[in-house]
Amino acid sequence: MAAAALPMWLALQAGTRALRAFSTSVSPATHAPRPAPQRTSRNERLQKRKALPPRTEKMVVDQDWPSVYPVAAPFKPSAVPLPVRMGYPVKKGVPMAKEGNLELLKIPNFLHLTPVAIKRHCEALKDFCTEWPVALDSDKKCEKHFPIEIDTTDYVSSGPSIRNPKARVVILRAGLIDRKAPTVGGNPRVYPTTFKELQIMPFEETEL
């Protein structure tokens, strides 16, 4: 029994050796060699970490300012070439410089509304505007053809936000000269609106 099983055992051992030899010869070809990492010197690493100079040192005298501040944005000390200072002077000294000054970040600025920027905005909007009618040469004619006026108010204050709750108040004036106001039982009729009740009073103007 042992003599009959010996050839089968030798055949299995030979197959195993052939399989191992085949796998050993294939494995180096399947895996590509990894490139060695490039080592940089200490000076090169320090140069990469070094902070770049501020933009103000690279600006020319005739810098296109609307491209620096195209829209409303917080104060940027690296983009404003002015020795701006703000804050409480400590020990009778000078106020804090613009670098790292939180007081300059709290308040809104008008660096984007320079005369050059306003002129460009007007030139861009000129194509969408029409000329004033020649027939409307007096205030009475304007009030006759445009009896409704809307008054809005904008507030400028030193604070972290440019929004003011008082700016929500809108006054709508409707001139009723030579016009009959609708009445119910001798009293003015009330028209509800989205803001509050708009009362059409039997005189020249009403306020919302």
Written as tens digits, the pLDDT of the chain (208 aa) is 555 666 666 666 654 454 454 444 445 555 566 776 777 777 777 667 777 788 888 888 888 999 999 998 889 998 999 899 998 888 888 999 998 898 898 888 889 999 999 999 999 999 999 988 899 999 888 888 888 888 999 888 776 677 888 888 888 888 765 555 555 555 555 444 333 334 444 334 444 4
Q: Which residue has the tokens 């059409």?
A: 200
- What is the reported pLDDT for 125? 94
Among left, alpha and beta (phi > 0; psi -120 to 50; other), residue 108 is beta
How is 115-179 classified by DSSP, letter by letter? Answer: HHHHHHHHHHHGGG--PPPTT--SHHHHHHH--EEEE------SSS-S--GGGG--EEEE--TT-
How is 52-94 classified by DSSP, letter by letter? Answer: PPPGGGT--TT--HHHHS-S-----TTT--S--B-SPPGGG-P
d(CA 78, CA 57): 9
- What is the reported pLDDT for 140? 87
DSSP 50: S
Q: Which two tokens stand for residue 72?
A: 């409303």
- What is the reported pLDDT for 201? 40
Q: Is 0.75 surpassed by the pTM of this model?
A: no
Q: Which two tokens stand for residue 202?
A: 């039997």
Phi, psi of 68 (to 5 degrees): -80, -45
Q: What is the CA radius of gyration of the chain?
A: 40
Q: Please, are residues 85 and 104 in contact by the beta-carbon 8 Å criterion?
A: no
Q: Which helix (H) or strand (E) holds 29?
A: helix 2-30
Domain ranges of the chain: 55-118, 133-199
Q: In a 3-state reduction of DSSP, which class is residue 171?
A: strand
Q: Which two tokens stand for residue 93?
A: 């000294």
Q: Which residue has the tokens 């703000």?
A: 86
> What is the β-pairing status of strands 187-188 and 183-184?
antiparallel
d(CA 162, CA 72): 10
